[in-house]
Structure 1
Amino acid sequence: MSDATAPYDSFLLVSFGGPEGPDEVIPFLENVLRGKNVPRERMMEVAEHYQSFGGVSPINQQNRELIEAIRGEFDRSGIELPIYWGNRNWHPTLPETLRQMRDDGRRRALAFFTNMFSSYSGCRQYRENIAAAQEEVGEGAPVVEKVRFGFNHPGFIEASRERVRTALAELEGVSPEQVTILFTAHSIPMAMAANCDYEMQLRESCRLVADGVEAGPWRLVFQSRSGPPQQPWLEPDVCDAIRQGHAEGQLKALVIVPIGFVSDHMEVLYDLDEEAATLCRELGLPMRRAGAVGTHPEFVRMIGSLVLERLDPTGQRPALGELPAWHDVCPTNCCLYTPQRPSR
């Protein structure tokens, strides 16, 4: 029996990674930006964001908490797969983790990427990272296959709705119909967006979440762009949208929902809880930021559900809305993108 047809014997949480001390910030960011056309001054600006939080990104601890929640869900669901964790940019790195899996005798793993939407950086690049790690580990490196994206899975949608309802309830003295919902996601280059379903999936998730809560209008906006000014990225930026909406008299109160992120990591904390929140205070605009799905029980159950789908392909594949349950195996041309390289 080849490794590609062996039974699944492990689960791999694949994530971005983050520094856990001031001395790790620059090496981490250099890993993140290697091969990308991002000015060094922008990197140093982002480094200051991390240093303002003591040089510690919350993402690693949040992943540890998610792993514990997944372990409990696996126990409840009868899923007997040991859980591993590997990152793209910082320890534990994917090569370190795949080497450990090989040494533990693991041959074939199911992977969950801590991202709900298709794009080069959110899917294909992770698959390339895994392939590079397998090559580095060499003979015996486990086969790794991802579960489908859950952007329209009932568990993700209901977890997101509950986070929005909590934020709406915190806006005192404001009726729900007066509240505009701004859904935010990481901006990506237009050239990347043109070759994937990122925007379409995001808009479907936003619509499904908004349809299940009592509030006013909603809009999808973006945050955290990092490319050179001359390179077009998805817009509008969240702060630009707030300024414009306020100037036009369209905004009375806001709930900002980081729909494109599964945890309250650095980009959420800085771009939304610092920059967007400061802007809203300056404008006198009531605002609450909804939490990311994190370890919400419905989200964790969704992860278990996606694993069970692969363990028993004859079972149900739940999906809400107008788009089907997404594919498990990506087509060869899925999310193709050639990142711009630094000019010499």
Structure 2
Amino acid sequence: MPFDAFLFQSFGGPNTKSDVIPFLENVTRGRNIPVERLETVAQQYYHFNGQSPINKINLGIIERLQNAFSQANIALPIYFGNRNFEPYLKDALIQMKADGRTNAISFVTSAYGSFSSCKQYKLDIESACQEIGGRFLAVTKIRHFYSHPGFINPLITNSVAALKKLPHPDRAQLVFTAHSIPVSMSETSPYLRQLKEAVALVANGIKNETGVSYDYSLAFQSRSGAPGQAWLEPDISDHLKALSAKNITDALIVPIGFISDHLEVIYDLDILAANTAQRLGISISRTRTSSDSPAFVQMIVELTKELINNPITYPEPDCTATCCQSR
């Protein structure tokens, strides 16, 4: 059966201050998070008047993708659905059902595999389909793209440009960051291995472009959840303190775990981590993420063609029957 639709899936984010608490309630549903904690997290969004950049970014990617599909003669209408806020995935599927769509390709705005960044998006589709009358739609997800040149090469280019903004770029430490997840989730997913592979690719690319063999490390950010639960470490702020103790004076922050400059990048890195670095006397510069590059959209086109041309034996080697069992 040929593909007849393209589903763009993302996390979602609030558009106004009045959206923030409902959005956070969606994100934390079933976790019994105290209202006081939600109010604390909400302050991050209020800092930007309640508007997450993720919605505008995603709509921009979709617009560019529609043009790229047209140029590549890919006749798939694009539907957009979020997990946690408007436009919701369920509403996108309702429209797809009304339009008679039965076999879709899906793209998720995460390059890596874990329960929250891959499997949960698949389960979201199953749950939403059941709510609107059963499984009417077959969906094949585009593979993890953490090592694809369309994701990696813009990070290399943007990192080389960001290094030039440092006082002493030749002796900078490269600090790659990604969203922390529970250790238990990491242990049943390819997330950490994929991150390390991507880090090595970007670090090697920077070396090839600059002729400098930089020291580099991987840190984590945006931790949530119960204080007693083990999550991937070190936290970026703690890591900057450790670098300061080693007399590191310049650091390039590379948010390799993210495809776009959304709130967890511009708040957790550009504000929180930047403030920590300033207190420590470390000069930092931050790499722009990949999604605003033409290469990123071209990557989606290539991966879509890959599926169209090989719909039956299309591989996803990192997805197995036992992967991503833990939340």
Q: Do the structures match in fold with TM over 0.5? A: yes
**Structure 1 ranges of 4+ moved more than 3 A:** 37-41
Report 1:129-148 matches (<5 A).
129-139=124-134, 141-148=136-143
Q: State the 1:227 CA deviation.
A: 1.3
Deviates further, 305-314 or 182-191: 305-314
| Residue of structure 2 equivalent to 1:197 | 190
Q: State the 1:40 CA deviation.
A: 3.8
CA 1:169 to 1:117, structure 2 compared with 1: closer, same or farther past 3 Å? Answer: same
Q: State the 1:98 CA deviation.
A: 0.3
Q: State the 1:244 CA deviation.
A: 1.1
Q: How far apart, in 2, do the equivalents of 1:195 and 1:69 lie? A: 35
CA 1:248 to 1:329, structure 2 compared with 1: closer, same or farther past 3 Å? Answer: closer
Question: What SS is found at the alignment partner of 1:20?
Answer: coil
Does the CA contact (< 8 Å) of 2:113 and 2:318 recur in 1?
no
Does the CA contact (< 8 Å) of 2:176 and 2:256 recur in 1?
yes
| Residue of structure 1 equivalent to 2:98 | 103
Q: State the 1:194 CA deviation.
A: 0.6
CA distances 1:15-71 after superposition (whole Å, capped 9, x unpaired): 000000011100000000011254443322110100111011110110000101111
Report 1:187-226 matches (<5 A).
187-213=180-206, 214=210, 215=212, 216-226=214-224
Report 1:1-20 matches (<5 A).
6-20=1-15
Report 1:72-83 matches (<5 A).
72-83=67-78
Does the CA contact (< 8 Å) of 1:99 and 1:141 recur in 2?
no
| Residue of structure 2 equivalent to 1:254 | 251
CA distances 1:288-310 after superposition (whole Å, capped 9, x unpaired): 11111122111111111110100
Does the CA contact (< 8 Å) of 1:119 and 1:196 recur in 2?
yes
Give aligned pairs, total: 320
What is the aligned counterpart of 2:56 among 55, 58, 61? 61
Q: Which amino acid aligns with 2:186?
A: A
Report 1:153-172 matches (<5 A).
153-171=148-166
Does the CA contact (< 8 Å) of 1:37 and 1:228 recur in 2?
no
Does the CA contact (< 8 Å) of 1:98 and 1:141 recur in 2?
no
Does the CA contact (< 8 Å) of 2:169 and 2:250 recur in 1?
no
State whether structure 2 residue 306 is matched by structure 1 residue 309.
Answer: yes
TM-score (norm 2): 0.94
Tell me the C-alpha RMSD between the 2 structures: 1.7
CA distances 1:137-165 after superposition (whole Å, capped 9, x unpaired): 21573222101011111211111111211
Q: How far apart, in 2, do the equivalents of 1:221 and 1:81 lie? A: 38
What is the aligned counterpart of 1:334 among 319, 323, 327? 323
Q: Which amino acid aligns with 1:88?
A: R
State whether structure 2 residue 273 is matched by structure 1 residue 284.
Answer: no
Does the CA contact (< 8 Å) of 2:190 and 2:318 recur in 1?
no
Does the CA contact (< 8 Å) of 1:69 and 1:295 recur in 2?
no
TM-score (norm 1): 0.89
| Residue of structure 2 equivalent to 1:323 | none
Equivalent pairs: percent with the same residue? 43
**Unaligned 5+ residue runs, structure 2?**
none
CA 1:161 to 1:329, structure 2 compared with 1: closer, same or farther past 3 Å? Answer: closer
Q: How far apart, in 2, do the equivalents of 1:265 and 1:62 lie? A: 8
What is the aligned counterpart of 2:231 among 214, 233, 236? 233
| Residue of structure 2 equivalent to 1:175 | 169
**Unaligned 5+ residue runs, structure 1?**
1-5, 318-325, 340-344
